[in-house]
């Protein structure tokens, strides 16, 4: 699929992230679309698509997103809530989008 502008790419990337990537909280899978985090994550990851995507750079983005738990009494990074397989899937999604550009 050929994309016409960056907004379209971000929207498609956000949809794929939202549908496939989840946080594991007490064995509950909270997909990023349901947590309303998919678009913000896609916006932060989009600039990486024009360069070589490194796992370290993606991890840094995930560590910079704070998730408030218990009404804000605790804060955990998104990197800490994503299972390893979801992080691998996220890298696969980003690599697929990079090939499409």
For 24-38, how does the pLDDT look when each residue is reduced to its tens digit (9 = 90+)?
Answer: 999 999 999 999 999
Q: Please state, in angstroms and as integers, the Cα–Cα distance from residue 16 to each residue in 10, 12, 39, following that order.
A: 10, 6, 10
89 is a domain residue: yes
Task: Give the angle subtended at the CA of 77 by the CAs of 71 and 82, to the nearest 5°.
Answer: 105
In a domain, 45, yes or no: yes
1 in any annotated domain: no
Which residues constitute the domain of residue 59? 6-100
Is 66 domain-assigned?
yes
Q: How many domains does the chain have?
A: 1
Is the pLDDT reported for residue 73 higher than 70? yes
Q: Would you state the pLDDT for residue 4?
A: 62
Per-residue pLDDT of 78-90, as tens digits, reads 999 999 999 999 9
Residue 73 lies in a domain: yes
């Amino acid at each position: 699929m050929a994309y016409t502008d960056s907004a379209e790419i971000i929207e498609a990337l956000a949809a794929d992230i939202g549908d496939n990537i989840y946080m594991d909280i007490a064995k509950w899978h909270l997909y990023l679309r349901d947590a309303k985090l998919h678009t913000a994550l896609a916006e932060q990851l989009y600039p990486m698509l024009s360069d070589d995507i490194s796992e370290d750079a993606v991890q840094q983005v995930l560590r910079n997103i704070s998730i408030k738990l218990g009404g804000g009494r605790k804060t955990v990074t998104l990197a800490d809530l994503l299972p390893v397989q979801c992080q691998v899937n996220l890298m696969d999604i980003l690599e697929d989008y990079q090939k499409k550009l």
